[in-house]
C-alpha cells in the first residue's frame, strides 16, 4: 500500500507557476542562489525557456511544496543524451520529510524515460544539505571550479556532479 505521508510527484501545470514562484522567493538563500534576492515586480516562474513540462512538482496533503527543474546542459545535438537538474527547492516547512529525495529520484527516472544516458548538476560548495542529498542519490563530484563565485563576501566553489541514468552497457 502506498505511504500516505509520501510526497506525490507530478509534472507541473501552468497553474502551478504562482505557487512555485512563491517557493522560489521564500527559499532564496546565499547557500544555493547565485542571483540576487528577487525584488518586485517578480518575473513569472515559467517563461519561454522554462515551461511547465520542464518541471516536476511535489505535493504534500494536496499542496505544492517543492519542485525540480530538468533541462539540457547545452542546446547542442551532440550533448542531447545528458539532462541537467537546473533548479531544486523545497519549502522550509516541508523539509526533512523526504520531499527533496523524492524529487531527485523522480528527475533521474524522468531523464531515463526521456532517453538520457547521464544526469548532471551544479551545486555551490558550501551547500551541504543539497550535496548530501545528491551524494545519497548516487551523484558523484566530477569537477570543481574553485572560488568561482563571490557570495556575501566569500569565495565559493562551483561543484559539478553527475551520475548515469541507464544501466551500464556498451550501447545504452
Ligand atoms: C536541499 C533540499 C532540496 C533538501 O530537501 P529536503 O526535502 O529537506 O530533503 P530530504 O528530506 O529529502 O532529505 C534527503 C537527504 O538529504 C540530505 N539532507 C537534507 N537536509 C539536510 C541538512 N540540513 N543537512 C545535511 N543533509 C541534509 C540528507 O542526506 C537526507 O537524508 P536523511 O534524511 O536520510 O539524512 C532543501 O534543503 C532545499 O530546498 N534547499 C534550498 C534549495 C537548494 O539548496 N537547492 C539545491 C540547489 S543545487
Instruction: Estimate the crossing angle of helix 99-113 against helix 128-136, to 10 degrees.
Output: 50
Query: What is the model's pLDDT at position 5?
Result: 86
Rounded Cα distance, 148 and 159, in Å: 9
Q: Is the CB of 127 under 6 A from ligand 1?
A: yes
Q: Pick the atom of ligand 1 nearest to 85's CA.
A: 48
Query: What is the model's pLDDT at position 41?
Result: 97
* Partners of residue 141 on adjacent β-strands: 161
Q: Is 81 a member of any domain?
A: yes
What φ, ψ does residue 92 adopt, rounded to 5°?
-50, -45
**To test the ligand 1 pocket, which listed residue (100, 107, 120, 160) has its Cβ within 8 A of the most ligand atoms?**
100
Q: Is 162 a member of any domain?
A: no
| Residue tagged 500500500 (cell numbers) | 1
Tally DSSP H helices, then E strands, for the chain. 3, 7
Q: What is the CA(130)–ligand 1 centre distance, in A? A: 5
| Residue owning the nearest CA to atom 12 of ligand 1 | 98
Q: Does the pTM exceed 0.75?
A: yes
Query: What is the model's pLDDT at position 166?
Result: 82
Give CA 26 to chain center in angstroms: 16
Q: Is 129 a member of any domain?
A: no
Q: Is 140 a member of any domain?
A: no
Q: Pick the atom of ligand 1 nearest to 136's CA.
A: 29
Closest CA to 122 of 137, 143, 102: 143
Rounded Cα distance, 44 and 46, in Å: 5
| Residue owning the nearest CA to atom 4 of ligand 1 | 100
Is 170 in a helix, a strand, or coil?
coil
Cβ 30 vs Cβ 151: under 8 Å = yes
Cβ 88 vs Cβ 69: under 8 Å = yes
Query: What is the model's pLDDT at position 3?
Result: 83
Q: What's 107's domain CATH number?
A: 3.40.630.30
Rounded Cα distance, 153 and 160, in Å: 22
Task: Give the contacts of 52 (CB within 8 A, at least 6 positions apart).
Answer: 11, 12, 13, 14, 16, 17, 46
Q: Is 114 a member of any domain?
A: yes
Q: What is the CA(94)–ligand 1 centre distance, in A? A: 10
| Residue owning the nearest CA to atom 22 of ligand 1 | 129
| Residue owning the nearest CA to atom 20 of ligand 1 | 129
Q: Is 64 a member of any domain?
A: yes
Q: Pick the atom of ligand 1 nearest to 97's CA.
A: 11
Q: Is 53 a member of any domain?
A: yes
Q: Is the CB of 166 under 6 A from ligand 1?
A: no
Domains in the chain, number: 1
pLDDT, tens digit only, all 172 positions of the chain: 678 789 999 999 999 999 999 999 999 999 999 999 999 999 999 999 999 999 999 999 999 999 999 999 999 999 999 999 999 999 999 999 999 999 999 999 999 999 999 999 999 999 999 999 999 999 999 999 999 999 999 999 999 999 999 865 665 4
Q: What is the domain range of residue 111?
A: 8-119
Q: Is 143 a member of any domain?
A: no
What is the edge-to-edge ordering of all strands in the sheet holding 140-151? 8-11, 55-60, 63-71, 82-90, 118-124, 154-164, 140-151
Amino acid at each position: 500500500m502506498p505511504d500516505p505521508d509520501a510526497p506525490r510527484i507530478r509534472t507541473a501545470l501552468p497553474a502551478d507557476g504562482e505557487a512555485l514562484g512563491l517557493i522560489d522567493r521564500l527559499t532564496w538563500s546565499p547557500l544555493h542562489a547565485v542571483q540576487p534576492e528577487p525584488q518586485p515586480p517578480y518575473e513569472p516562474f515559467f517563461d519561454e525557456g522554462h515551461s511547465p513540462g520542464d518541471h516536476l512538482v511535489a505535493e504534500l496533503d494536496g499542496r505544492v511544496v517543492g519542485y525540480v527543474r530538468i533541462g539540457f546542459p547545452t542546446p547542442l545535438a551532440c550533448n542531447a543524451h545528458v539532462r541537467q537538474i537546473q533548479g531544486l527547492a523545497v519549502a522550509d516547512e516541508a523539509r526533512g520529510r523526504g520531499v527533496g529525495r523524492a524529487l531527485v529520484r523522480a528527475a533521474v527516472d524522468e531523464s531515463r524515460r526521456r532517453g538520457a544516458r547521464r544526469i548532471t548538476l551544479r551545486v555551490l560548495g558550501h551547500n551541504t544539505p543539497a550535496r548530501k542529498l545528491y551524494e545519497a542519490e548516487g551523484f558523484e563530484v566530477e569537477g570543481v571550479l574553485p572560488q568561482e563565485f563571490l557570495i556575501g563576501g566569500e569565495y565559493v566553489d562551483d561543484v559539478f556532479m553527475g551520475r548515469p541514468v541507464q544501466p551500464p552497457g556498451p550501447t545504452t
